[in-house]
Amino acid sequence: MKFKTFALFVAPSVLAMLLLIAVPLAGVAYISVFNASVQTELVEVTTKVPVFAGVEREVTKMVPQPVLDEQGNPVRNWEYVGMDNIKTVVDPDGLSGAFTQEGSDPESSGRFLDNLADIYYDIVDIDFWGALEFTLLYTFVTTPLVLLLGFALAMTVDNAVKKMKGVVIFASLLPFIVTPLIGSLSIYWLFLDNSVITSLLQQMGLGKIYFMKDAFTIRALIILYGIWHVTPFAFVIFYAGLQTVNKDSLEAAVLDGASAFDRVRYIIVPHLMPLVVFVAMMHIMDAYRIFEPVLVFGSNLFANSLQYLTFYTLNFEDNFNKAAASSLLTVLGVVILLIPALTRNWREHKRGY
Is the pLDDT confidence value at 280 over 90? yes
Q: How high does pLDDT run on average in the chain?
A: 85
- % residues pLDDT > 90 (the chain): 35
- % residues pLDDT > 70 (the chain): 94
Residue 98 placed within a domain: no
Residue 34 placed within a domain: no
Is the pLDDT confidence value at 166 over 70? yes
Residue 101 pLDDT: 66
Its domain, for residue 216, covers 126-352
**Mean of pLDDT values over 128-138:** 94
**Mean of pLDDT values over 152-175:** 81
Is the pLDDT confidence value at 51 over 90? no
Decide which of 172 and 327 is more confident: 327
Question: How many structural domains does the chain have?
Answer: 1
Residue 113 placed within a domain: no
Residue 25 placed within a domain: no
Residue 177 pLDDT: 83
Residue 335 placed within a domain: yes
Tell me the H-state helices in 18-126: 23-32, 84-90, 92-100, 112-124
Number of separate helices (H) and strands (E) present in the chain: 16, 4
Res. 227 pLDDT band, cuts 50 70 90: very high
Cβ neighbour number for residue 13 with a 10 Å cutoff: 9
Is the pLDDT confidence value at 151 over 90? yes
Is the pLDDT confidence value at 105 over 60? no
**Mean of pLDDT values over 202-218:** 86
**Mean of pLDDT values over 295-313:** 86
Is the pLDDT confidence value at 353 over 60? no
Residue 55 placed within a domain: no
Residue 2 pLDDT: 73
**Mean of pLDDT values over 131-141:** 95
Cα separation, 35 vs 66, whole angstroms: 17
Q: What is the CATH number of the domain that holds 249?
A: 1.10.3720.10
Yes or no: say if 188 and 217 are a contact pair by the CB < 8 Å rule: no
Is the pLDDT confidence value at 102 over 70? no
**Mean of pLDDT values over 285-305:** 86
DSSP H or E segment with residue 251: helix 247-255
Cα separation, 138 vs 285, whole angstroms: 12
Yes or no: say if 242 and 155 are a contact pair by the CB < 8 Å rule: yes
DSSP states of 252-284 as a string? Answer: HHHHTT--HHHHIIIIIHHHHHHHHHHHHHHHH
Residue 158 placed within a domain: yes
Is the pLDDT confidence value at 250 over 90? no
Yes or no: say if 130 and 302 are a contact pair by the CB < 8 Å rule: no
Residue 120 pLDDT: 83
Decide which of 67 and 146 is more confident: 146
Residue 318 placed within a domain: yes
Q: Convert the pLDDT of each residue in 117-127 to its tens digit.
A: 888 888 888 89
Residue 48 pLDDT: 77
Is the pLDDT confidence value at 40 over 80? no
